[in-house]
């Protein structure tokens, strides 16, 4: 860290608070969104479709959100995000009151706009940071999710029955959470990137950047880490409740999972700075594989806790490691293009993972155990893809 990082430290503090407070809406919705969808859908196979629509919304929003931030600055993009989050939660609350599944899906899509903006917090953390402070800045911002991990699931289960319509109170709470962001982001101090002068180099195209080995592997590693986390986590409340435990217990399992996602962030940046992003990504993939093995071992409550905690730690190492690889592989002029396409690819695959999660969980067997087994087995091909890509990158001859 250098003396010039004073602005970066201020921005990191704002983004940590945003991750903690505004980010609480994501575990709230992921705890109860699948259960709400299951209660509204005519076919239980589509119970997790609302979660899929959130991620689909994030995927389709990421390219233009990134361009908005490149042209008008991070603050404008983050304001777009919290507006989408508030509107989406309001629509979902109304949908619950009239028992409309299509309307609930529409609200979920708008929530995806917030999720997309939320994903850029990690990149915004490094915008004003020195090279040595970058992995730590990104890690600290991700660590803000520790607070959201604590208050999110607890708010979800506490507000579930506030109103006569179950879960409606949770979505109205999410509306209020988003409104606080309009004050919070006033304190963000990230300059809008300068427009390139006429005749100046504009950097590589999206395709050229995706052909760069380090960027390509970073995208694959982020895609696999996030997709596997979402694949398993989306089905967890359904599996826990389906195995005879109540919604409060499901909330506790998800809370433990989200804690495991963010607690390592206090030291992930230091580990990356010392050992390199590639090794940290490899560790993350190994831990994700261990989570799948524990999930396959049984459906006792301890299995759920351990599997989901390993899933969170593996996501942390894999996703932060991959994001750090990406942030150091492009110029300021290329930032809007590659960050947008990265998140579009990542959340596109996460959309497929969340949709597949519901189908595997509810429609791949006659029992909850069969569905849960199918979800965990589905991790294997994605882990193989990311592992092979990482080995290929490491084994390549070093470029001059």
For residues 181 and 167, give the distance between their C-alpha atoms in angstroms, rounded to a whole number. 23
pLDDT band, very low/low/confident/very high, at 201 (cuts 50, 70, 90): low
Taking only the tens place, the pLDDT of each residue in 262-319 is 888 888 888 988 888 899 999 999 999 999 999 999 989 999 999 999 999 999 999 9
What would the 3-class secondary structure string for the chain be?
CCHHHHHHHHHHHHHHHHHHHHHHHHHHHHHHHHHHHHHHCCCHHHCCHHHHHHHHHHHHHHHHHHHHHHHHCHHHHHHHHHHHHHHHHHHHHHHHHHCCHHHHHHHHHHHHHHHHHHHCHHHHCCCCCCCCCHHHHHHHHHHCHHHHHHHHHHHHHHHCCCCCCCCHHHHHHHHHHHHCHHHHHHHCCCCCCCCCCCCCCCCCCHHHHHCCHHHHHHHHHHHHHHHHHHHHHHHHHHHHHHCCCCHHHHHHHHHHHHHHHHCCHHHHHHHHHHHCHHHHHHHHHHHHHHHHHHHHHCCCHHHHHHHHHHHHHHHHHHHHHHHHHHHCCCCCCCHHHHHHHHHHHHHHHHHHHHHHHHHHHHHCCCCHHHHHHHHHHCHHHHHHHHHHHHHHHHHCCCCC
Residue 372: give its domain's CATH number. 1.20.1250.20
Q: Is residue 195 part of a domain?
A: no
Length of the chain: 400
Taking only the tens place, the pLDDT of each residue in 113-133 is 999 999 899 889 888 888 778
Taking only the tens place, the pLDDT of each residue in 320-329 is 999 888 877 7
Which residues constitute the domain of residue 371? Answer: 3-190+205-395
Taking only the tens place, the pLDDT of each residue in 273-282 is 888 889 999 9
For residues 181 and 323, give the distance between their C-alpha atoms in angstroms, rounded to a whole number. 24
Q: Is residue 198 part of a domain?
A: no
Lowest average pLDDT, out of 13-17, 141-145, 169-173, 382-386, goes to: 141-145
Residue-level pLDDT at 400? 41
Q: Is residue 136 part of a domain?
A: yes
Torsion of CA 231, 210, 272, 66, to 10 degrees: -70
Q: What is the average per-residue pLDDT within 234-254?
A: 85
For residues 343 and 391, give the distance between their C-alpha atoms in angstroms, rounded to a whole number. 23
Q: Is residue 197 part of a domain?
A: no
Task: Characterize 104-138 residue by residue with b for buried, 16 or more Cβ atoms within 10 angstroms of its Cβ, and e for exposed.
Answer: bbbbbbbbbbbbbbbbbbbbbbbbbbeeebbbbbb
> Which token pair is 337?
């293009």
Residue-level pLDDT at 123? 84
Q: Is residue 199 part of a domain?
A: no
**Most confident of the following: 93-97, 256-260, 263-267, 269-273:** 93-97
Residue-level pLDDT at 2? 54
pLDDT band, very low/low/confident/very high, at 197 (cuts 50, 70, 90): low
With beta carbons less than 8 A apart as the criterion, state whether 58 and 344 touch: no
With beta carbons less than 8 A apart as the criterion, state whether 119 and 347 touch: yes
Considering the chain, what percentage of its residues have pLDDT values greater than 90? 42
For residues 323 and 269, give the distance between their C-alpha atoms in angstroms, rounded to a whole number. 11
Considering the chain, what percentage of its residues have pLDDT values greater than 70? 96
Q: Is residue 200 part of a domain?
A: no
pLDDT band, very low/low/confident/very high, at 354 (cuts 50, 70, 90): confident
* Residue 278 or residue 145, greater confidence: 278
With beta carbons less than 8 A apart as the criterion, state whether 81 and 116 touch: yes
Question: What's the domain count of the chain?
Answer: 1
> Which token pair is 340?
């947008």
Q: Is residue 400 part of a domain?
A: no
Lowest average pLDDT, out of 23-27, 114-118, 329-333, 360-364, goes to: 329-333
pLDDT band, very low/low/confident/very high, at 229 (cuts 50, 70, 90): very high
> Which token pair is 140?
């600290």
Number of Cβ within 10 Å of residue 348's Cβ equals 18
Q: Is residue 15 part of a domain?
A: yes
């Amino acid at each position: 860290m250098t003396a010039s990082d004073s602005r970066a430290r201020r921005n990191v503090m704002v983004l940590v608070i945003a991750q903690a407070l505004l980010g609480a809406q994501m575990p709230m919705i992921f705890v109860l969104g699948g259960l709400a969808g299951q209660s509204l859908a005519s076919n239980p196979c589509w119970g997790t479709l609302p979660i899929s629509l959130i991620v689909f919304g994030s995927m389709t929003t990421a390219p233009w959100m990134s361009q908005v931030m490149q042209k008008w600055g991070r603050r404008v993009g983050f304001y777009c995000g919290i507006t989408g989050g508030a509107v989406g939660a309001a629509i979902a609350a109304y949908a619950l009151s009239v028992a409309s599944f299509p309307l609930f899906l529409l609200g979920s899509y708008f929530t995806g706009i917030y999720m997309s903006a939320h994903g850029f917090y990690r990149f915004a953390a490094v915008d004003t940071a020195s090279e040595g402070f970058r992995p730590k800045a990104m890690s600290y911002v991700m660590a803000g999710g520790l607070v959201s991990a604590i208050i999110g699931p607890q708010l979800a289960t506490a507000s579930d029955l506030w109103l006569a319509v179950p879960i409606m109170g949770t979505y109205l709470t999410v509306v209020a959470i988003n409104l606080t962001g309009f004050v919070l982001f006033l304190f963000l101090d990230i300059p809008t990137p300068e427009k390139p002068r006429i005749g100046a180099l504009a950097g590589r195209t999206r395709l050229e950047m995706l052909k760069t080995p380090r960027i390509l592997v970073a995208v694959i590693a982020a895609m696999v880490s996030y997709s596997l986390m979402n694949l398993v986590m989306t089905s967890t409340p359904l599996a826990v409740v389906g195995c005879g435990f109540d919604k409060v217990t499901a909330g506790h399992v998800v809370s433990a999972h989200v804690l495991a996602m963010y607690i390592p962030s206090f030291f992930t940046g230091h580990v990356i700075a010392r050992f390199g992003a590639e090794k940290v990504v490899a560790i993350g993939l190994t831990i994700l594989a261990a989570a799948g093995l524990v999930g396959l071992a049984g459906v006792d409550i301890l299995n759920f806790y351990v599997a989901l905690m390993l899933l969170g730690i593996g996501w942390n190492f894999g996703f932060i490691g991959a994001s750090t690889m990406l942030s150091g592989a492009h110029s300021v002029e290329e930032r809007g293009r590659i960050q947008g396409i990265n998140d579009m690819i990542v959340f596109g695959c996460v959309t497929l993972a969340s949709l597949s999660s519901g189908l595997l969980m509810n429609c791949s067997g006659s029992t909850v155990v069969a569905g849960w087994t199918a979800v965990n087995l589905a991790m294997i091909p994605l882990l193989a893809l990311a592992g092979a890509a990482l080995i290929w990158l490491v084994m390549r001859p070093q470029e001059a």
